C-alpha cells in the first residue's frame, strides 16, 4: 500500500471573474473591495487572504502534506501528477461547481486518490448527487482528519504562523503584507437564525486555542517566525469568552507585549466588557453585526448602537458595522429606512449583505417548511445576487442586486472613503488615549484586571503596559497618514474633501507637519492613485465595476510531522519589547 500523502487545496482561480463555474460580482477573493468598500473605486484598500484552514489542517496531522493555495487549473492538475494518496478540498457553497470539476478530474485521471471535502460547502444537502467524493467533513477538520488517519485526536491544536493577506495595495500602491491571523475557535453559541457559522457547528463554540495563554503563545510564535505583531482574530464572537480575552491581556501585560487585534464581536458583549478593556487589549478594529434598526436579534436588543459606535471610535477603535438587506420585514420603504439607519450610525465601514438562507440554518428550515425556498443555483448563493427565497415584498431579482450596490454607493457618498474614516478614528483615539493616560496618572487611577475598570489606588504604580499600547496606537495612526493627500485629491465630493482636509489638520495638530518620508509616501500614493484611476475609468467603459485582482498561488510542503517546531515558551527573552506594528489593514 502506498505511503499516505495528502494534498490540501483551495478551489482553483481565477476568482471574481464570471465563468461557467462561479460568479463575478460578490465572488472576489477580497473582503473589503468585495463587500465593504465596494463602490469606493481607488479609495478601496485591496487585499486577499490566504485559505487559513488549510494551513491549520496541515500543521496538525502527521501524514505528509502539501497546501496548494489559490491554484490555477493548471497548477492543480500538475500538482496531482506529483502523486498523492488523498486530496482534501476546502470550499464554500458558491464554489461548488469548481469542486465538481476538480473531483471529476481526479476520478478520471487519478482514480486511486481518495477525495475528502470540507469547509462550508459541506452543508449542501444533495452534495453526493452533484459530484463524486469519498469522505465529507462537515465540522471541525483537525480532529476529523486525525481520526481519519488514525492519529491521536486528543493532542492540543498547534497554531500555524501565517500571514493574513496574500497581497495588499492602496491607491494602486502595492506593499508587503505584514499582519497575521489567529484562529482561536469556530462557531458561535448565539445561533442567530440566518447565521451559517453558528449553525455549521451546531450552535456550539469549538475552541482551538482554549486559553488566553494559548492565544498569546500563538501570537508570540507568529512574531518569532514572521515578525508580526498585528493579528486578525478569526473567531465569530471573540469576546463572548471574556475570561480568555482577560487572560490574554494579563499575559501580554506580564510579557510586555502590546499586540494589536482586529476582532469580530457582538454588541451585547462589547457593552458588558466596556470600551476601556478593548482599548487596553489592543483592539484596533471591531466588526459588529447591527443587522436592522428594529433590533430583532438578542445581541442588539436594547442597545443604543449609534452611541456605542461613537464611543468606540472616540477611543480609536475602528468600527465595521454589518447589516443585512432584504430581511422579511423589508418592504421597499422599510428597506430604505434600514439602509438610512445603518449609514446614520456613522461607523467607519459598513458591510451590506443580502439575507441568505444557507442549508442547515433555522432560517433555511423555516423557509423550507413554508415552501418559500427559491431555486437559486448554489453558484449564485453568495449574498450579492438574487435572493434564494421568495421575498414577501421585493420580488424583482434585479432589485436585489441594485439596492445592495446602491447602499454601498450611498455610504461612500455620505461618509467618504472608508480608509479616510479609519485614519480619523485612529488619530482621535490616539489623542484621547494620551490625554486619558495623563488624567489617570494625575488622579491615581490604575487598571483593575478583576473588574476591568480603572480604579483609584493608594499606591499607584506607573502604567508601563499602557505606554506600550500608546506607542502602538501612535504607529497605527501614523501608518494611515500617507493616504490623506490622495483621499483629499481624489475625494468623490465636497463633503469627503472637507473631511480629508479636517483629517490633515488633525494629524498636523497631533504630530506636527509631516516629515520628508511621509510627504514622499503621500506623493507616491497620489501618483499610483492616478494610474489606478485611469485603469478604473477604462474598465467602466466596458461596463465593469472595477479592477479584479487575483491572489498569487502558494505551495507549502509539510514533509514530516512536527518539522516546523514552535519556539518553546521557556526560551522567551526576559526583556523583549517590540514596538513594531503591523496589521492586516495597514497602509504602506
Ligand atoms: C476569511 C474568509 C474569506 C476570505 C477568503 C479566504 C480564502 N482564501 O478562501 C475572503 C474575505 C476573501 C472571503 C471571501 C468570500 N467569502 Co468568506 N469567509 C471567510 C471567513 C471569515 C473565515 C474563513 C476561515 O478561514 N475560517 C477559519 C478556518 C479554520 O475555518 P474553516 O474554513 O471553516 O475550516 C475548518 C472546517 O470548516 C474544516 N475544513 C475546512 N476545509 C476543509 C477541508 C478538508 C479536506 C477538511 C477535512 C476539513 C476542512 O476544518 C477547518 C478547521 O476546523 C468565513 C467565516 C468564518 N468565520 O469561518 C467566511 C465565509 C467562509 N465566507 C463566505 C462567503 C459567502 C464568501 C464570499 C462569497 C463573500 C461573501 N458574500 O461573504 C467570498 C467568496 C470568495 C471566493 N471567490 O471564493 C461564507 C460561506 C458561506 C457558505 N455557506 O458557503 C462564510 C462562512 C461567511 C458567512 N458567514 O457567510 N472569505
Ligand atoms: S452573534 Fe454573530 S456569529 Fe453569533 S450567531 Fe449571531 S450573527 Fe452569528
User: Any idea what the CATH number is for the domain that residue 271 is in?
Assistant: 3.80.30.20
pLDDT at position 582: 32
Mutation pick for ligand 2 pocket among 186, 195, 298, 324 (CB with most ligand atoms within 8 Å): 195
Cα–Cα distance measured from residue 528 to residue 514, given in angstroms and rounded to the nearest whole number: 20
Residues 372, 225 within the same domain: yes
pLDDT of 584 above 50: no
User: Any idea what the CATH number is for the domain that residue 82 is in?
Assistant: 3.40.50
Digit-coded pLDDT (tens) for 117-169: 999 999 999 999 999 999 999 999 999 999 999 999 999 999 999 999 999 99
Q: Is residue 14 part of a domain?
A: yes
**What sign does the dihedral 83-86-91-93 (CA atoms) show?**
positive
Residue 190 in contact with ligand 2 by CB distance below 6 A:
yes
Q: What is the mean pLDDT of residues 435-442?
A: 98
Comparing 461 with 582, which gets the higher pLDDT? Answer: 461
pLDDT of 268 above 50: yes
Digit-coded pLDDT (tens) for 351-368: 999 999 999 999 999 999
pLDDT at position 571: 30
Ligand 2 geometric centre to CA of 197 (Å): 7
Q: Above pLDDT 90, what percent of the chain?
A: 90
Q: What is the mean pLDDT of residues 524-540?
A: 96
Residues 376, 476 within the same domain: no
The last residue of a domain, from among 487, 512, 537: 512
SS3 (DSSP) at 342:
helix
DSSP state letters, 38-82 = TT-GGGS-EEEE--HHHHHHHHT-SS-EEEEES--HHHHHHHHTT
Residues 101, 193 within the same domain: no
Strand ranges for 381-452 from DSSP E: 445-448
- Please count the other Cβ atoms lying within 10 Å of the Cβ belonging to residue 155: 12
Ligand nearest to the CA of 360: 1
Range of the domain at 488: 420-512
Residues 101, 185 within the same domain: no
Q: In sequence order, what are the residues at sequence separation of 6 or more whose Cβ sits closer than 8 angstroms to the Cβ of residue 532?
A: 42, 171, 172, 547
The last residue of a domain, from among 158, 180, 215: 158
Residues 362, 444 within the same domain: no
Ligand 2 geometric centre to CA of 422 (Å): 24
Ligand nearest to the CA of 289: 2
Q: Is residue 581 part of a domain?
A: no
Residues 145, 211 within the same domain: no
pLDDT of 588 above 50: no
Residue 237 in contact with ligand 2 by CB distance below 6 A:
yes
DSSP state letters, 257-315 = ---EEEEE--HHHHHHH-HHHHHHHTEEEEEEEEE-TT--SGGGTT--HHHHHHHHHHT
Residues 293, 432 within the same domain: no
Q: Is residue 571 part of a domain?
A: no
DSSP state letters, 182-219 = E--EE--TT--TT-HHHHHTTT--EESS-SHHHHHHHH
Does pTM top 0.85 for this prediction? yes
- Please count the other Cβ atoms lying within 10 Å of the Cβ belonging to residue 445: 17
Name the grid cell of 450: 478583576
Residues 277, 213 within the same domain: yes
Q: Which of 294-303, 441-450, 553-562 ranks highest by mean pLDDT?
A: 441-450
Residue 119 in contact with ligand 1 by CB distance below 6 A:
yes
Ligand 2 geometric centre to CA of 151 (Å): 33
Digit-coded pLDDT (tens) for 390-431: 999 999 999 999 999 999 999 999 999 999 999 999 999 999
Ligand 1 geometric centre to CA of 173 (Å): 27
Buried b (16+ CB within 10 A) or exposed e, 203-235: eebebbbebbbbbbbbbbbbbeebebbbbbbbb
Q: What is the mean pLDDT of residues 433-461?
A: 96
Strand partners, 107: none
Residue 300 in contact with ligand 2 by CB distance below 6 A:
no
Q: What is the mean pLDDT of residues 219-223?
A: 97
Ligand 1 geometric centre to CA of 92 (Å): 6
Digit-coded pLDDT (tens) for 304-326: 999 999 999 999 999 999 999 99
The last residue of a domain, from among 362, 392, 415: 415
Amino acid at each position: 500500500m502506498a505511503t499516505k500523502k495528502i494534498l490540501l487545496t483551495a478551489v482553483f482561480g481565477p476568482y471574481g471573474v464570471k465563468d461557467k463555474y462561479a460568479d463575478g460580482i460578490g465572488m472576489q477573493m477580497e473582503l473589503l473591495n468585495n463587500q465593504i468598500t465596494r463602490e469606493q473605486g481607488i479609495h478601496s484598500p485591496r487585499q486577499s487572504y490566504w485559505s487559513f484552514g488549510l494551513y491549520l489542517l496541515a500543521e496538525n496531522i502527521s501524514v505528509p502534506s502539501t497546501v496548494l493555495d489559490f491554484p490555477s487549473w493548471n497548477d492543480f492538475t500538475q500538482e496531482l501528477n506529483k502523486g498523492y494518496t488523498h486530496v482534501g478540498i476546502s470550499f464554500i457553497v458558491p464554489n461548488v461547481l469548481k469542486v465538481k470539476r476538480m473531483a471529476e478530474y481526479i476520478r478520471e485521471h487519478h482514480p486511486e486518490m481518495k477525495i475528502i471535502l470540507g469547509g462550508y460547502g459541506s452543508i449542501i444537502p444533495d452534495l453526493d448527487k452533484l459530484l463524486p467524493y469519498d469522505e465529507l467533513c462537515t465540522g471541525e477538520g483537525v480532529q476529523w482528519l486525525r481520526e481519519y488517519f488514525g492519529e491521536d485526536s486528543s493532542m492540543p491544536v498547534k497554531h500555524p504562523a501565517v500571514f493574513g493577506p496574500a497581497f495588499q495595495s492602496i491607491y494602486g500602491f502595492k506593499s508587503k503584507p505584514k499582519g497575521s491571523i489567529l484562529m482561536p475557535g469556530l462557531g458561535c453559541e448565539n445561533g442567530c437564525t440566518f447565521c451559517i457559522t453558528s449553525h455549521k457547528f451546531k450552535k456550539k463554540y469549538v475552541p482551538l486555542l482554549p486559553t488566553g495563554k494559548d492565544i498569546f503563545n500563538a501570537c508570540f510564535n507568529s512574531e518569532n517566525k514572521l515578525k508580526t505583531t498585528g493579528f486578525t482574530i478569526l473567531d465569530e464572537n471573540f469576546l463572548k469568552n471574556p475570561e480568555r480575552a482577560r487572560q490574554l491581556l494579563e499575559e501580554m501585560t506580564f510579557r510586555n507585549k502590546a499586540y494589536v487585534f482586529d476582532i469580530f464581536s457582538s454588541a451585547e458583549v462589547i457593552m458588558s466588557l466596556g470600551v476601556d478593556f478593548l482599548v487596553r487589549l489592543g483592539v484596533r478594529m471591531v466588526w459588529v453585526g447591527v443587522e436592522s434598526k428594529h433590533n430583532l436579534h438578542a445581541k442588539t436588543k436594547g442597545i443604543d448602537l449609534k452611541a456605542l459606535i461613537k464611543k468606540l471610535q472616540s477611543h480609536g477603535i475602528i468600527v465595521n458595522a454589518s447589516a443585512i438587506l432584504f430581511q422579511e420585514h423589508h418592504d421597499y420603504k422599510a428597506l430604505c429606512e434600514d439602509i438610512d439607519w445603518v449609514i446614520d450610525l456613522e461607523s467607519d465601514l459598513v458591510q451590506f449583505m443580502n439575507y441568505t438562507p444557507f442549508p442547515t440554518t433555522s432560517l433555511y428550515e423555516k423557509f423550507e417548511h413554508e415552501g418559500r425556498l427559491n431555486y437559486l443555483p448554489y453558484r449564485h448563493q453568495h449574498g450579492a445576487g438574487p435572493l434564494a427565497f421568495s421575498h414577501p415584498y421585493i420580488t424583482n431579482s434585479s432589485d436585489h442586486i441594485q439596492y445592495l450596490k446602491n447602499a454601498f454607493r450611498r455610504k461612500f457618498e455620505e461618509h467618504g472613503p472608508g480608509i479616510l474614516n479609519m485614519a480619523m478614528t485612529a488619530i482621535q483615539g490616539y489623542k484621547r488615549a494620551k490625554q486619558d493616560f495623563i488624567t489617570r496618572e494625575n488622579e491615581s487611577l490604575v487598571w483593575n484586571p478583576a473588574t476591568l475598570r480603572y480604579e483609584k489606588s493608594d499606591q499607584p504604580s506607573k502604567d508601563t503596559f499602557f505606554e506600550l499600547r500608546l506607542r502602538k496606537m501612535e504607529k497605527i495612526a501614523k501608518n494611515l497618514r500617507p493616504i490623506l493627500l490622495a483621499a483629499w485629491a481624489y475625494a468623490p465630493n465636497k463633503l469627503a474633501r472637507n473631511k480629508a482636509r479636517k483629517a490633515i489638520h488633525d494629524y498636523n495638530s497631533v504630530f506636527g507637519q509631516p516629515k520628508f518620508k511621509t510627504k514622499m509616501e503621500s506623493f507616491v500614493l497620489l501618483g499610483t492613485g492616478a494610474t489606478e484611476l485611469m485603469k478604473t475609468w477604462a474598465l467602466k467603459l466596458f461596463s465593469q465595476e472595477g479592477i479584479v485582482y487575483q491572489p498569487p498561488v502558494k505551495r507549502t510542503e509539510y514533509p514530516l510531522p512536527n518539522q516546523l517546531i514552535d519556539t518553546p515558551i521557556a526560551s522567551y527573552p526576559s526583556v523583549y519589547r517590540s514596538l513594531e506594528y503591523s496589521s492586516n489593514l495597514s497602509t504602506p
